[in-house]
Structure 1
Amino acid sequence: MGLHLAGFEVIGVDLLPQPRYPFEVHRGDAVQFIRDHGHSFDLISAGPPCQSKCALTVGTNASQGWGGEHVDLVAPTREALLSTGRPYIIEQPTGKAPVRKDITLCGEMFGLGVLRHRNFELGGWTMQQPEHRPHRGYTRGWRHGVYRDGPYVAAYGKGGGKATVAEMQAAMGIPWTDVHRELTEAIPPAYFELLGRHVAAHLRSAALQSAA
C-alpha cells in the first residue's frame, strides 16, 4: 500500500493465497518470479521469511523457535534481485538477518502507535537515513512480570496486554485485513510510502540523465 501511495502500480507474489491483498497478486514462488520477470519492473520489494533470524527467535532455539524450523531465504532472494539489474528493497526485522541496514525505520518517525523497527537493504539506489526520534514511552503490556502502559501497542502475539486486531489496524494504518496473523507480520504503509517516494525520485533522475 505504501508503494501504491508513492505512485507505483503494485503487483504481489506469494506462495499462499492472499485473498485480502489489496492489489493484483500472483500465487507462486517469489524468488522464481523475480528471476523470470523481475527485469520488467521498475522496482522490486522483497520481504523474505525472516523468523530464523528475528530477535524473537534468535537466542531461543536457533532456527527451531517461534513455531518450528525456519528457512533463511535472504541470500537466494538477493541473488535473484541482483540478476535483474533493477532497483530493489529487502525488508527485515531487527535481528541477525544477513541484510545491509542501509535504512532503519521506526513507527515513531511517522507518529504511529507501534514502534515496529525494520531494516531495509537498498539495491541500486540510496537515500539518507531519517532521524530516529526518541520514543515517547513504553510499549503497553507485561514484561518480566511488570505491566507498563505507554503510547505504543505490541502488534505481535496474544495476551499480556498485546494489541487487539482493531488496535493493530489503527496503530499501523492497515484497514484492509482483520486477520490477526496478517497484521502481526505487516509493515506500516508509511514506511514504504517514504521509501517509494525516494526511489521514484531516483528513477525520474535516472530517466532524465538517460534522455540527455
Structure 2
Amino acid sequence: MSHSRATLRRPRVLDLFCCSGGAAMGYWRAGFDVVGVDIAPRPRYPFTFILADALEVMRELCQEFNLVHASPPCQAHTALTRGTNRGRSYIDLIPQMRELCEWYGVDWVIENVPGADIRKDLTLCGEMFGLGVLRHRHFETGWLGTPQPERLPHLKHRGPVRGWRHGVYRDGPYIAAYGKGGGKGNVAEMQAAMGITWTDVHEELTEAIPPAYTEYIGRQFITTGMWGAAHTPDPADRLKVLARTDVALAT
C-alpha cells in the first residue's frame, strides 16, 4: 500500500494518542494525510509517527493541520477499569484537549468510551458498518453538521457478544475485542472483526477503534467542516489554558 505525500489539496489530520492507527487508517481512506503521536513506540503505525507527549505536540504543531483527532486514555471513564482498579486514580486529559483545540482554533474530534465527559455529537457502533464488533464510541466534534449514519436509530443488534458474562456463556455474532480467554476474540478474530490488518499486537487491537468510524467522520468533515477556521483568543485565556495543561502533565 502506498501512502503518497505528494497528493495535492488533501486535508491533514493530527492523530493524538494514536496507538496502532485504527483511527488514522479511516482518515487516510477518507482522503487525509495523517501524522500520529503517541508516548509509547508504535512501530506498526502505518503513517508518519512522532514519539512524544500528545499535548506538547498539540501545542507546537496543531495549527499545521486542518483537524485534530484525539483518543485520550479512557481508564478514568471505562466501567471495566472502575470495576477492577478501585481506589486508583487516572488522569482525565479530555478538558485540556478541548481547551487547547478551542484556543488554537483548530477543528477537532475527541473520541472516548461511554461514560466519558464529552458531548455525544456522534455515537458509532460496529453494527452500523457491518463489523464483527459492537465497540460503542462517542465522538465530540468541533464543527456542526455531522449526522448519525442513516441506519440509526432504528438499527437493532443482531444478538449478544460471544463469551462469558456473569457466569453465563452466550454465543453471538460479535466478538469481545478486549481481554483474553472466556470466549473473547483472539488476535486473528479481532483483526477480521475490526478491519485492522497491519498490527497483530493484542494490546494495540484491544485499544483500537475500527477505521470505518473515522472514515465516516473524515468524509463528513470534508463535506461539512470548516478547514482552518480559527479565532483569536484573549492573551489572558491563553495563559490559563497553558497553565492548566502544565498542571495535568505534572500529575
**Counterparts of 2:192 and 2:87, CA distance in 1:** 32
Structure 1 residues 83 and 62: alpha-carbon distance in aligned structure 2, compared to 1, 3 A threshold:
farther
User: Number of aligned pairs?
Assistant: 200
Give 1:34 shift: 1.2
Is contact 1:52–1:62 with CA below 8 Å preserved after alignment?
no
**Counterparts of 1:85 and 1:23, CA distance in 2:** 25
Which amino acid letter does the alignment assign opposite residue 102 of structure 2?
A: L
Structure 1 residues 61 and 17: alpha-carbon distance in aligned structure 2, compared to 1, 3 A threshold:
closer
Q: Please report the TM-score for the alignment, with normalisation by the length of structure 2.
A: 0.76
Is contact 2:125–2:136 with CA below 8 Å preserved after alignment?
yes
Q: Where does structure 1 lack aligned partners over 5 or more consecutive residues?
A: 208-212
Partner residue of 1:22 out of 39, 46, 70: 46
3-state SS of 1:169 partner: helix
Between the aligned residues of both structures, percent identity stands at 58
Is contact 2:110–2:139 with CA below 8 Å preserved after alignment?
yes
Give 1:144 shift: 1.1
Which amino acid letter does the alignment assign opposite residue 162 of structure 2?
A: R
Give 1:125 shift: 3.4
CA deviations on 1:184-205 (whole Å, 9 max, x unpaired) are 00000000000000001124xx
Which amino acid letter does the alignment assign opposite residue 111 of structure 1?
A: G
**Counterparts of 2:84 and 2:164, CA distance in 1:** 19
Partner residue of 2:73 out of 44, 49, 65: 49
Is contact 2:146–2:224 with CA below 8 Å preserved after alignment?
no
Q: Where does structure 2 lack aligned partners over 5 or more consecutive residues?
A: 1-24, 228-251
Partner residue, 2:94:
74
Which amino acid letter does the alignment assign opposite residue 92 of structure 2?
A: D
RMSD (Å), alpha carbons: 1.4
Matches within 5 A, 1:143-182: 143-182=165-204
Is contact 2:112–2:137 with CA below 8 Å preserved after alignment?
yes
**Counterparts of 1:177 and 1:196, CA distance in 2:** 22
Deviates more, 1:80-89 or 1:192-201: 80-89
Partner residue, 1:9:
33
Structure 1 residues 87 and 179: alpha-carbon distance in aligned structure 2, compared to 1, 3 A threshold:
same
Partner residue of 1:189 out of 191, 202, 211: 211
Give 1:183 shift: 0.2
Give 1:101 shift: 0.8
Structure 1 segments, 4+ long, off by >3 Å, are 58-63
More contact order relative to length (CA 8 Å, sep ≥ 6)? 2
Structure 1 residues 40 and 125: alpha-carbon distance in aligned structure 2, compared to 1, 3 A threshold:
farther
**Counterparts of 2:56 and 2:87, CA distance in 1:** 24
